């Protein structure tokens, strides 16, 4: 896995004479940091590294893998962005680079950037929301406890408050949907819901600011949120799922400046 081995061009042997049309070109070289990422991933996949485990110090890891320290640093930066590693500066037992578990932050950044670049159309993101949140609402109706219901009521109160700003309303709205996903007990659903809502925050807020009849829109959203809450609190799973799907469709329709394509 050393630099010298992988950074040299790999030139395949010439094609046998008499083979027409063969066009051989040098194989693309792997970057050093990509090799370090692969090595760390291998350790995680085999179970040799688990959440909370430290990586060897930078100098030692570079020596073990026979790569440059710059390659190790770049690999760590990439995996930190993925939410797989976290680095703590300083000295002592708490310092160093550790295997982490921060998928929601990585998903949020990924979706936010790709929605902004239009790699995922907003309509596709909304359709994904419907599928995810239908399931989450159904599970929440089966599993929500008193603490969860109290939190949902608190968020409803924020949205119901007279004169609540559009930004505060949207933040409470987001927290309401994420809390429902968390109540369902599926960590992947809740992380994906949080990431999707974060990716939609900018276009939703832009649409909110352009709405002339804001109180009418907010009133409809409040009514729908309360209906979802009532279905969950009564344990009516199918009703909660249907109300949630209808709410998401209606919300996207009520905001005409929220582009669907």
Tens of pLDDT along the chain (261 residues) come to 444 444 444 444 444 444 555 666 654 556 889 899 999 999 988 999 999 999 999 999 999 999 999 999 999 998 988 888 988 886 667 789 999 877 777 777 777 777 777 778 878 888 999 999 999 999 999 999 999 999 999 999 999 999 999 999 999 999 999 999 999 999 888 888 988 888 888 888 888 888 888 999 999 999 999 999 999 999 999 999 999 999 999 988 877 555 444
Do 9 and 66 reside in the same domain of the chain?
yes
Give residue 89's pLDDT.
80
61-69: long-range contacts, CB 8 A cutoff, minimum separation 24: 61/36, 65/1, 65/2, 65/35, 65/36, 65/39, 66/1, 66/2, 66/3, 67/1, 67/2, 67/3, 67/32, 67/35, 67/36, 68/3, 68/32
Q: What's the pTM value of the predicted model, to 2 decimals? A: 0.70
Give residue 211's pLDDT.
83
80 close to 102: Cβ distance less than 8 angstroms: no
Do 189 and 209 reside in the same domain of the chain?
yes
Last residue of a domain, one of 51, 66, 99: 99
Do 94 and 109 reside in the same domain of the chain?
no
Which CATH number goes with the domain that contains 25?
1.10.10.10
Looking at the structure of the chain, the number of domains it has is: 2
Give residue 26's pLDDT.
59
* Domain that residue 174 falls in: 104-254
Q: Which two tokens stand for residue 250?
A: 């209606």
Do 164 and 221 reside in the same domain of the chain?
yes
Evaluate the CA torsion angle 255, 257, 258, 261 in order and state its sign. Answer: positive
Do 111 and 88 reside in the same domain of the chain?
no
Domain assignment of residue 259, yes or no: no
């Amino acid at each position: 896995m050393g630099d010298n081995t992988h950074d040299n061009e790999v030139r395949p042997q010439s094609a046998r004479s008499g083979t027409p049309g063969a066009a051989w070109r040098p194989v693309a070289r792997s970057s050093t940091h990509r090799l370090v990422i692969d090595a760390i991933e291998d350790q995680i996949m085999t179970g040799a590294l688990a959440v909370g485990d430290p990586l060897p110090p930078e100098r030692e890891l570079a020596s073990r893998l026979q790569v440059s320290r710059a390659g190790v640093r770049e690999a760590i930066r990439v995996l930190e962005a993925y939410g797989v590693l976290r680095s703590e500066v300083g000295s002592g037992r708490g310092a160093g680079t550790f295997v982490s578990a921060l998928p929601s932050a990585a998903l949020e950044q990924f979706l936010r950037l790709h929605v902004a670049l239009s790699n995922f159309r907003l309509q596709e993101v909304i359709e994904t929301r419907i599928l995810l949140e239908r399931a989450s609402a159904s599970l929440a109706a089966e599993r929500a406890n008193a603490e969860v219901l109290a939190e949902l009521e608190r968020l409803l109160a924020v949205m119901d408050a007279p004169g609540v700003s559009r930004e505060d309303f949207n933040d409470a709205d987001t927290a309401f949907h994420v809390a429902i996903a968390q109540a369902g007990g599926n960590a992947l659903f809740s992380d994906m819901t949080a990431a999707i809502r974060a990716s939609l925050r900018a276009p939703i807020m832009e649409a909110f600011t352009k709405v002339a009849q804001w109180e009418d829109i907010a009133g409809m959203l409040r009514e729908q949120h309360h209906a979802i809450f009532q279905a969950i609190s009564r344990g009516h799973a199918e009703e909660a799922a249907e109300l949630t799907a209808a709410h998401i469709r209606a919300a996207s329709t009520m905001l005409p400046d929220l582009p669907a394509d």
